Amino acid sequence: MSTLKRFFQDTLIYGFATVFPRLMNFILVPLHTDILPREEYSVNTVFYVWAAFFNVLLTYGMETSFFRFFSRAKDSEKVFSTAFIALTSTTVVFAILVLIFQDQLVQLMDLDPYYFQLLFSVLILDTLVVVPFAYLRATGRPLKFAGIKILNILTYVGLNFYFLWFVRKFPDYSPVYITKNYDPKDLVGYIFMANVAASGITFILLLPYFFRTKINFSVDIFKQMWKYGWPIMVAGIAFVINENLDKILIKDMISDEIMGAYSGCYKLAVFMTIFVQAFKMGAEPFFFNHAQKENARETYAEILKYFVICGSLIFLILVTYIDFFKALVIRDSSYWIAISIVPIVLMANLFLGIYHNLSVWYKLTDRTRTGMYISVFGAIITILLNIFLIPVIGFIASAWATLIAYGSMMIISYFLGKRYYPVPYNVKKISFYLFLSVGLSILSFLFFRENYLIATGLNLLFLGIVFSMERKQLNKILTK
């Protein structure tokens, strides 16, 4: 089996484990936007913004550090136990600090105290299983990884539909103790409760890894992992700012209702987000494991080219059929006031995916601090553009800020990579596919809106051009 074929196969499995939960979350968007007014949908958004921030803080780059050192360590079990003990210990300390400073944190985060308790229950449970999940990926057990991830999301989605739809529509078929305590005015709370339950089940399924861990903590290994990982943590915080600060600022600078509409329409970019995340899940361990191969750099170049082809096609499909997806996913038309952000956010996420691919240079050369600087630079752009432009042009400023931030990070990473870890990327061909996709999308969006016959033709045209240019290479990959 060719290296590229194996990469695509592993990415497909890990990708499904990522795609399926994202798709299930996507299915929840119509349910949530149907029953939640925009201001309550903004509460749901704020909850998960804080969850993303603390998730990065609590894991402090340990997942990527684990892949880096596990793949090349003589004693990989020591790496596992060190990472596991470290994350478990810091999570326990975090839980104690939360109990001590709960009142101050509630005020800072502007969350209902009950929602706050649910949030930190989810955070603690999810952090404790980070290393076991990473271990499954590093040791090539994608099916088990995928199975647990899928069960997690099925639990979450099932409970969402049960509490938000079934109990409301068919109360006579629900247990008395549920209907007696059911509060139809606090539907957001049931979303968070479902998350706690799903995280709890995942924790139980991965509990055996707690008992297989030997008390074998290496201070030297931890120091190396911390040195490698803390810049990734800072970069992760910068990423959270790039992804989520816009929502907080729109809420504070405009209104809860506009933030809810913005967040709802933002969900339409989920397919690009899914694609990027699926790629990252498969690519990260692959890049480390393949680094010593003779043709590693050529392989990385080919992977980026096909990533851009797939991402450009996804972008084109979503933009040309945007009104179809809008009506299908967000049935409450009051949310549609923010639909103009979708093409911009889609391209921003595609740039982010290219950046993830290009980031191989600083991960393989142990220059994660440089990666941190790039991410912080992107976060600064996001902060400044949002603060100065939201009062001028409204919520659309946030979408442009995200695009400019990720585009800048992509360009900077490319030129630094040429210096420290040159990879023979076919920039001309990659740029051609990007511009072709954008050009066809603009043509459809401005002149053939809701003309799905033309939309289909434009997508087939893109595929035909790609096939004619890549036919020989695709035949090589598929026949090996």
> Tell me: the pLDDT tens digits for 280-294?
766 666 676 666 677
Task: Look up tokens 């990982």; give the residue.
Answer: 229
Residue 384 has pLDDT above 60, yes or no: yes
Is the CB of residue 385 less than 8 Å from the CB of residue 322?
no
Residue 446 has pLDDT above 90, yes or no: no
> Tell me: the pLDDT tens digits for 226-248?
888 888 888 888 888 888 888 88
> Tell me: the pLDDT tens digits for 401-434?
999 999 999 999 999 988 888 888 999 999 999 9
Confidence of residue 3 (pLDDT cuts 50, 70, 90): low
> Tell me: the pLDDT tens digits for 159-185?
999 999 898 888 888 888 888 888 888
List the domain range (segments joined by +) for residue 24. 3-479
- The chain-wide mean pLDDT, for the chain, equals 85
The pTM of the whole model exceeds 0.95: no
What phi, psi does 6 have (nearest 5°)?
-65, -40
> Tell me: the pLDDT tens digits for 338-382?
899 999 999 999 999 999 888 878 877 878 788 888 989 999 999
- At 228 the pLDDT is 82
- At 137 the pLDDT is 77
- At 405 the pLDDT is 94
Q: How far apart are CA 28 and CA 275, in angstroms?
A: 19
Is the CB of residue 160 less than 8 Å from the CB of residue 25?
no
Domains of the chain: total? 1
> Tell me: the pLDDT tens digits for 74-115?
777 788 888 888 999 999 999 999 989 998 888 888 788 899
- At 477 the pLDDT is 58
Q: How far apart are CA 435 and CA 419, in angstroms?
A: 26
**Nearest-5° Cα angle at 442, 439 to 446:** 150
Across the range 122-130, mean pLDDT stands at 92
> Tell me: the pLDDT tens digits for 468-479?
888 877 666 555
Structure tokens at 447: 């002149």
- At 1 the pLDDT is 45
- At 387 the pLDDT is 94
Closest CA to 227 of 378, 344, 78, 68: 68
Is the CB of residue 434 less than 8 Å from the CB of residue 312?
yes
